[in-house]
């Protein structure tokens, strides 16, 4: 499968570029298959994985993954948020009694609250602010009335016309959709390596949430194409980028923050940044 994913990337991108415009090494996807992931089942159908690489994409990488089997109807997803101000991903998770959580989408770093489209339970809380760049809100994490999860493109007429889903959290760029990976704009936001958070779906109805550490000698972060390669290697047929940088956080109940957030400039679990929304994984009755 992994050799197929690499071939697929080469067909779509030509020679893919990594951080700072460097080519992605051809053995990078195979290394993802060879790593000895630390793995723990934290609930039925919810697996937490961690891997540390010394030479993935010719760089040091630290990756946390949540794999959520949504065919298990007890496994639910929620998008908690604050309309203004801030809350930490861990606080969102604890308040909802979630089993795990990741940070969500972009927010106002001065006053809090989302700066991209956010609809929850069929109520629109925010519209995308006028200074947002299109490619950074061209994807949406969405849920319908039955709780089915999807990664969707922004409609040409705007998010407000997307009536099939009760919950939509806009973000971007879209990484994988339809026929394969999406070629990204040549912008510093995409080309440079940063901490990243992404979410995607497989054809087997598994949700894949990924948090990549960065801005540290132990974890260099990823470019958008490297992140796309990672999500494809994990089996995602649809995937999108969420807010990254100092916001990138992975939390597990009874374990706390389990990645290495960069806001304190240390490679530890104590640099969590307050955000405005999160994506939580909940085990129901």
Q: What is the pLDDT of residues 71-82, one digit of tens each?
A: 999 999 999 999
Residue of 46, 47, 30 lying closest to 38 (CA atoms): 47
User: Does the structure show a pLDDT above 50 at 274?
Assistant: yes
Q: Which residue has the higher pLDDT, 31 or 156?
A: 156
| Position 182 in a domain | yes
CB under 8 A, 24+ apart: contacts of 123-127 = 124/160, 125/81, 125/83, 126/83, 127/159, 127/160
pLDDT at position 12: 46
Name residue, tokens 């009694």: 97
pLDDT at position 10: 45
Residue 72 is inside which H or E element, if any?
Answer: none
β partners of residue 171: 139
Cα-based angle 267, 269, 272 (whole degrees, multiple of 5): 105
User: Does the structure show a pLDDT above 50 at 15?
Assistant: no
Are the C-beta atoms of 275 and 89 separated by less than 8 Å?
A: yes
d(CA 170, CA 241): 10
| Position 78 in a domain | yes
User: What's the mean pLDDT in 13-21?
Assistant: 52
The domain in which residue 89 lies consists of: 2-232+250-263+276-283
pLDDT at position 1: 45
* CA 72, chain centre distance (Å): 21
For the chain, the domain total comes to 1
Burial classification of residue 23, based on how many CB atoms lie within 10 Å of its CB (0-12 exposed, 13-18 middle, 19 or more buried): middle
Helices (H) and strands (E) in the chain, counts: 5, 20
User: What's the mean pLDDT in 177-181?
Assistant: 86
| Position 238 in a domain | no
139-169 pLDDT, tens digit per residue, is 999 999 999 999 999 999 999 999 999 999 9
| Position 226 in a domain | yes
| Position 132 in a domain | yes
38-52 pLDDT, tens digit per residue, is 999 999 999 999 999
Q: Which residue has the higher pLDDT, 30 or 95?
A: 95
| Position 94 in a domain | yes
- The one-character DSSP state at 223 is -
User: What's the mean pLDDT in 272-280?
Assistant: 98
d(CA 90, CA 238): 26
β partners of residue 278: 103
pLDDT at position 249: 98
Residue of 101, 99, 93 lying closest to 44 (CA atoms): 99
- How far, CA to CA in Å, does 148 sit from each of 174, 201, 272? 19, 11, 30
| Position 270 in a domain | no
| Position 243 in a domain | no
Q: Which residue has the higher pLDDT, 17 or 95?
A: 95
User: What's the mean pLDDT in 246-269?
Assistant: 97
């Amino acid at each position: 499968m992994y050799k197929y994913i690499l071939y697929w990337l080469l067909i779509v991108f030509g020679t893919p570029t990594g951080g700072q415009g460097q080519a992605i090494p051809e053995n990078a996807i195979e290394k993802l298959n060879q790593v000895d992931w630390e793995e723990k089942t934290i609930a039925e159908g919810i697996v937490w994985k961690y891997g540390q690489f010394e030479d993935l994409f010719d760089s040091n990488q630290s990756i946390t993954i949540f794999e959520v089997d949504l065919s298990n109807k007890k496994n639910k997803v929620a998008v908690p948020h604050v309309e203004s101000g801030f809350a930490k991903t861990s606080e969102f998770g604890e308040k909802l009694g979630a089993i795990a959580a990741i940070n969500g989408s972009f927010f106002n770093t001065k006053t809090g609250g989302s700066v991209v489209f956010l609809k929850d339970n069929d109520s629109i809380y925010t519209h995308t602010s006028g200074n947002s760049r299109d490619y950074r809100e061209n994807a949406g994490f969405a849920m319908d009335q039955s709780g089915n999860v999807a990664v969707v493109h922004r409609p040409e007429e705007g998010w407000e016309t997307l009536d099939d889903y009760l919950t939509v959290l806009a973000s971007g760029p879209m990484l994988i959709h339809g026929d394969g990976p999406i070629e990204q704009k040549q912008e510093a936001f995409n080309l440079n390596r940063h901490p990243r958070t992404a979410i995607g779906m497989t054809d087997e109805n598994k949700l894949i949430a990924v948090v990549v550490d960065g801005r540290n000698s132990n974890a260099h972060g990823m470019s958008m194409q490297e992140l796309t390669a990672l999500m494809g290697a994990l089996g995602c047929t649809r995937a999108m980028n969420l807010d990254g940088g100092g916001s990138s956080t992975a939390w597990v109940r009874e374990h706390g923050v389990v990645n290495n957030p960069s806001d304190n400039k240390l490679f530890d679990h104590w640099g969590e940044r307050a955000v405005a929304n999160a994506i939580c994984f909940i085990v129901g009755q």
